[in-house]
Structure 1
Amino acid sequence: MENVLRPLLVIGGSVVLTLFVGWLTDLLLRRADARHSETPLWGLLRRCRVPLQFALGAALLRATFPQAQIRFVQEHRWGSGQVLTLVLIGASAWLVVRIATAVVESTYARYATATRDPARLRRVRTQVTLIQRVVIAVAGVVAVAAMLLSFPAMRTVGASMLASAGVLGIVAGIAAQSTLGNLFAGLQIAFGDMVRIGDTVVVDGEWGTVEEITLTFLAVRTWDERRITMPVSYFTGKPFENWSRGGVQMTGTVFFHLDHSAPVPEMREKLQDILRECPAWDGRDWSLAVTDTTPSTLEVRAVVTAKDSDDIWTVRCVVREQMIAWICDHHPYALPRIATSQALPPPRRPALADEPSARTGRG
């Protein structure tokens, strides 16, 4: 009878205690979240319940499983203990990542509530994202190292590796030069405020929005839903256009190539009417002027403004479409003309009677 009750008491007691602690922790966090609704920290910490239970359960079983006196466990005592140790290390790393993520996300949420500047908000969002990735990477590396060092054979290998750390460091630095360069470039982008998540950029002639920034690569979503993935070192070593730098307001231009008889004053009035009826125009500024001329055409430039890059594209398309339609309907003569008739040769000049050659007969 004791052979049955002892394992049930040891294992069952560990499981019951683990579930009770998880339930109690969740209850306390729920009450704290209800009392302090101004911060989402306590609600986010409730996500830690599962890794907490795994870590606590693994720790209790690791400490009490020898008292269970189960034959299979006794025969494989080292293996059972090693498995529980690995579970404990993995669950602890999982718990650390969840806690760090909750703290970072709650800090960003409070900052987003108190800040109205979109540029600062995107900068903080980029930094928060990279901080989370750094924490996950560090916790994962430490957890894997701890798991490996829990094996006696790996401890000997680890001591040998520490003895030759200088040589290994040089070799690893040369082999992973590009990877380390991208890693430091990612940190430089995050805290140097060069480019942020949500910024509108132009890279290699492609226009898009920064969708994701990691420690090694950056993803840009183009207007046609394509994703351009490039190493973050590209943005620290090559020039690129950042349309959101210093603010999201945009100024755009629309060019018209017309005949020299184009009614520029009437076009200026029509542009103002078009912009008044365009919801995407922010009302900041507009203008229309002749910027260049050629022997056959007149270059007219319309300048419009909008609150962001998406709206400036809409305003430019609306102005271009409606202005051309208005010119075709009311001033078709202003459209550019192409001469298709055959050019006439210059007239031949007749010889004069009083020229010297005519009088002397020279030649």
Structure 2
Amino acid sequence: MFDRIGDFSREIINTQAWLPSWAISLLTLAAAVALALAVHGILFRGVSRMVRNKDLFWRSLVARTSGPVRLGVVTFALSIASEIAPLTATQRDVLQHALLVGFVGLLGWGALTALHIWTTIYLRRFKLGAQDNLLARKHVTQARILRRVAGTLIIIVTVGAAMMTFSGVRQYGVSLLASAGAAGLVVGLALQPLLKNIFAGIQLAVTQPIRLDDAVIVEGEWGNVEEITSTYVVVRLWDWRRMVLPLTYFLEKPFQNWTRDSSALIGAVMIYLDYAVPVEEMRARLAEIAKSSPNWDGKVVNLQVTDFREHVMEVRMLVSASNAGRAFDLRCEVRERMIAWLQAEHPRSLPRRRTEIERMPRDTSRVQERRGQHQAAA
């Protein structure tokens, strides 16, 4: 069928002998591109109407595959036009080589699109906004890190395959293979930062010392893991600042992860009071505060005297919450309501300094008074 189309097109082109061959070739290629874009536009509008009333996934799927399909249709149309247009051998070789590079790029683009679609389908089962989102954070972190690593590898392979279509680059690759020892060392040193981050990303995805939305303390700052890319991690601090750290930081340096095994946390509140404080009443008051607070998860509430100091004793109050944010708010609430209760009901329980004053004997005071008078007269 393509041979018949080509013969028919050549007959039409031969009738237009008054046009130069380069103009005919240009018009042929432009017509092929225009026809391909028109066909793609019609198909895309039809498919878009079909999925208009479906959920967001299908609409985003059609929108994301539009680019690769457009490039594929244009490449196919140009490959047919290259056989029809009156091109010279050199021009046809250049065009076919460009189409080959475009086909390699199309394969890479399609692989990236397929990777994104698979990740989206896989992650639809997990919701980060759930109350207990530990399992969701685990799978989302793994999927996103591995997707970025796989995307980086796909881009590297695609660019390498496109470059190998050029004879000069291919000969350079053969020469590199001939001196594999020195070349491998040089390439390894040059790509060390990239390879280090790639392997660090794979290790983070497998071992998962951190996950998305984990509450961590890094460099003395408290915050939540907001984003994990293929090269760095973004930590959203409590005051909305962002701390950007390399992936290797979480493999080489110590840090605190408050939500490693569970999102629930136990918050501790320390208070220093006088020895006269009624501990049992204070314990009962802490239970009342916890039960009336919407931040308490109903699991842990405890009060203990943990230490004695010279003038005060140390009282530790423990309360639990479902996540780090609620635990912080609950601790603040316990501090505020407990100190208000102590000030109102037991003000003598607050820290005080005791001083004992003893009166000196009367005759001793007179002797000291006379000594002072004699010293003044002298």
What is the TM-score when the length of structure 2 is the normalising length?
Answer: 0.78
Matched, 1:280 2:295: yes
Distance in 2 separating the partners of 1:133 and 1:30: 32
Q: How far off its partner does 1:13 sit?
A: 4.1
Say if 1:265 and 1:112 are closer, same or farther in 2 by CA, change over 3 A. closer
Tell me, yes or no, if structure 1 residue 50 matches structure 2 residue 67: yes
Shift, 1:208, TM fit: 1.4
Check the 8 A contact 1:201/1:241 in 2, yes or no.
Answer: yes
Alignment check: 8 A CA contact 2:24 2:85 kept: no
Name 2:209's counterpart in structure 1: 194
Q: Which aligned segments of 4 or more residues in structure 1 are displaced greater than 6 angstroms?
A: 32-35, 341-347
Sort the Cα spacing of 1:181 and 1:7 in 2 relative to 1 into closer, same or farther, 3 A.
Answer: closer
CA distance in 1, matches of 2:359, 2:182: 84
> How far apart, in 2, do the equivalents of 1:216 and 1:245 lie?
22
Write the distance in 1 (CA, Å) between the matches of 2:359 and 2:153: 83
CA, structure 1 residues 166+30, in 2 after alignment: closer, same or farther (shift >3 Å)? farther
Counterpart amino acid of 1:302? Answer: M
The structure 1 residue matched to 2:238, chosen from 223, 228, 232, is 223
Please say if residues 149 and 202 of structure 2, whose CA atoms lie closer than 8 Å, have aligned partners that are also in contact. Answer: no
Q: Could you tell me how far 1:123 is from its partner in structure 2?
A: 1.2
Number of residue equivalences: 342
Tell me how far 1:125 sits from its aligned partner: 0.5
Please identify, of 121-130 and 191-200, the stretch whose mean Cα deviation from structure 2 is larger: 191-200
Aligned-residue offset at 1:194: 2.5
Mean Cα displacement is larger for which, 284-293 or 43-52?
43-52
Per-residue deviation, 1:53: 0.6
Does 289-298 or 191-200 show the bigger shift? 191-200
1:293 aligns with 2:308: yes
Amino acid at match of 1:20: V
Aligned twin of 2:43 = 24
**Which residues of 2 match residues 8-23 of structure 1 at below 5 A?**
8=27, 11-21=30-40, 23=42
Coordinate RMSD, CA, aligned: 3.5
Partner amino acid, structure 1, of 2:31: G
Alpha-carbon separation, structure 2, partners of 1:126 and 1:336: 48
Q: How does 1:259-274 map to 2 (within 5 A)?
A: 259-274=274-289
Distance in 1 between residues matched to 2:167 and 2:193, nearest whole Å:
34
Superposition pairs of residues 55-204 of structure 1, within 5 angstroms: 55-65=72-82, 67-69=84-86, 79-110=94-125, 112=127, 118-177=133-192, 179-204=194-219
Q: Give the CA deviation at 1:333.
A: 1.6
Change (3 A) 1:22 1:159: farther
Shift of 1:200: 1.3
5 Å-filtered alignment, 1:264-343, equals 264-338=279-353
Shift in alpha-carbon separation, 1:343–1:147, aligned structure 2, 3 A: farther
User: What 5-or-longer segments of structure 1 have no aligned partner?
Assistant: 348-363
Equivalent pair of 1:62/1:85 in contact (CA under 8 Å): no
User: What secondary structure is seen at the aligned counterpart in 2 of 1:304?
Assistant: strand
User: In 2, distance between residues paired with 1:346 and 1:109?
Assistant: 85
What is the CA deviation profile of residues 307-338 of structure 1, one whole-angstrom value per residue up to 9, with x for unaligned ones?
A: 00000000000111121122223322211124
Determine if contact 2:141/2:228 at 8 Å carries over to the other structure: yes
Contact 2:269 2:318 in 1 (8 A): yes
* Matched-pair identity in %: 33
Q: Is the 1:258–1:336 Cα contact (8 Å) retained in structure 2?
A: yes
Give SS of 2:297's match: strand
Distance (whole Å) between structure 2 residues aligned to residue 139 and residue 207 of structure 1: 36
Supply the distance in 1 between the matched residues of 2:134 and 2:191 (Cα, whole angstroms): 34
Q: 1:147 Cα deviation (Å)?
A: 2.6
Structure 2 Cα separation of the partners of residues 12 and 318 of structure 1: 72
Contact 2:197 2:247 survives alignment (8 Å): yes
TM-aligned CA deviation for residue 301 of structure 1: 0.9
- Note closer, same or farther for the CA distance 1:139–1:26 as it changes in structure 2 (3 Å cut): farther
How far, CA to CA, are the matches of 1:19 and 1:166 in structure 2?
52
Give, in whole Å, the separation in 1 of the partners of 2:180 and 2:357: 84
Residue 121 of structure 1 and its aligned partner are, at CA, apart by 1.2
Equivalent pair of 2:234/2:243 in contact (CA under 8 Å): yes
- Code of the residue aligned with 1:287 in structure 2: it is N
CA contact (8 A) 2:32 2:78 kept: no
